[in-house]
Amino acid sequence: MVWVVFLILSFLCIGSVAAMIFSRNQAHNALFLVLSFSSLGGLFGLLDAPFAAAVQVLVYAGAIMVLFLFAIMMFNLRGELPARVKKARLALTVGLGTVLLAELLLAGRKLVLGSPGAGPAAGGDTARLGHFLFSDYLYAFEITSLLILAALVGALALAGKREGS
Amino acid sequence: MIPPAAFFILAAVLFVLGVLAFFVKKDLLTQFMAVEVMLNAGNLAFLALAKSLGKAEGQVIVLFVITVAAAEAVIGLAIIVLIFRQRKTVQTDELKDLKG
């Protein structure tokens, strides 16, 4: 069972990176990378690292790739899509949304219907991680916050400049 | 149980694919994405080691790598946006002013 999950996830991961090499569309490349990073998050979960998995999906597949997509949208603006493609996309969006809702409901069913005895058992590892982060690696952690601040200021200084000023 | 070797092989394949993508692709954005793929391969190796050695330090390193990658992505994309504003292109073939 674990092997099946591992094989599916690693196939998705490697396959989408390979598709990125062969595709010529930058926006498609970014979306392939989102798929790759999400499946990598699943692999992190297989390695008993639930926090790293969550951060991978939230920060990498979420935040960083959205940044990439914004940058790509600044570069190549195309004309509007034909109406037929638009309709197909709407249908696809509705279908995928329904699937997502069903998944979330299925996952939340246990929490809502309650069996309070079966609380979250995993978390001991995350607690250990937090302990490390705020004791042995405290300096590194604080320096990281400084690094993010420097990156923010640097990005504003670089890209915030108006043309000609 | 999956042996750590499987994860190491996957990380190696992913890293090589990232290097390949970096050299094959010709636009800055996709090359930048390839760098992210390489970073992720490193993360996977770190986590596999953390699991096989039973230490949580590997996960701490992964968190730091993700943070640094976020900062790097912000600065890198800002630079690419600047290049695009000045040259109207992000194709590396057309950006060779530094060629001696």
Query: Which residue in B has a C-alpha nearest to residue A68's C-alpha?
Result: B77
Query: pLDDT truncated to tens, each residue of chain B (100 aa)?
Result: 788 899 999 999 999 999 999 999 888 889 999 999 999 999 999 999 988 888 888 889 999 999 999 999 999 999 888 888 888 877 888 877 777 5
Question: Taking the alpha carbons of A40, A41, A45, A50 in that order, is the dihedral positive or negative?
Answer: positive
- Residue located via tokens 């800002």: B78
**Which segments within chain B are labelled E, that is strand?**
none
**Count of A-B CB contacts under 8 Å:** 154
Give the ipTM.
0.89
Write down the pLDDT at residue A162.
63
B27 three-state secondary structure: strand
Three-class SS of A66-132: HHHHHHHHHHCCCCCCCHHHHHHHHHHHHHHHHHHHHHHHHHHHHHHHCCCCCCCCCCHHHHHHHHH
Q: Which of B46, B42, B69, B75 is nearest to A144 (CA)?
A: B69
Q: What are the residue ranges spanned by the domains of chain B?
A: 28-87
Write down the pLDDT at residue A2.
87
- Which A-chain residues 26-55 have CB contacts (< 8 A) with chain B? 26, 29-30, 33, 36-37, 40, 43-44, 46-49, 51-52, 55
- Long-range CB contacts (within 8 A, 24+) of B12-20: B12/B41, B13/A14, B14/A13, B14/A14, B14/A17, B14/B38, B14/B40, B14/B41, B14/B44, B15/B41, B15/B42, B17/A14, B17/A17, B17/A18, B17/A21, B18/A17, B20/A21
Write down the pLDDT at residue A116.
56
| CA geometry: angle A152, A25, B94, nearest 5 deg | 75
Find the CB nearest B30 among A29, A40, A44: A29
Q: Which residues of chain A have pLDDT under 70?
A: 76-81, 114-124, 161-165
Contact assignment for A132 to B84 by CB distance below 8 Å? no
- The two tokens of residue B14 are 């992913």
- CATH architecture classification, B28-87: Orthogonal Bundle (1.10)
Nearest-neighbour CA in chain B from A98: distance (Å): 31
Chain A interface includes B49 (CB < 8 A): no
Question: For residues B46 and B8, is the Cβ–Cβ distance under 8 A?
Answer: no
Write down the pLDDT at residue B17.
94
Find the CB nearest A2 among B2, B47, B51: B2
Q: How many helices (H) and strands (E) does chain B have?
A: 3, 0
Report the b/e string of A21-46 with b at 16+ CB within 10 A.
bebeebbebbbbbbbbbbbbbbbbbb
**Chain A residues with CB-CB distance to B50 below 8 A:** 47, 49
Cα–Cα distance, A122 to A132 (Å, whole number): 17
Find the CB nearest B44 among A33, A43, A155: A43
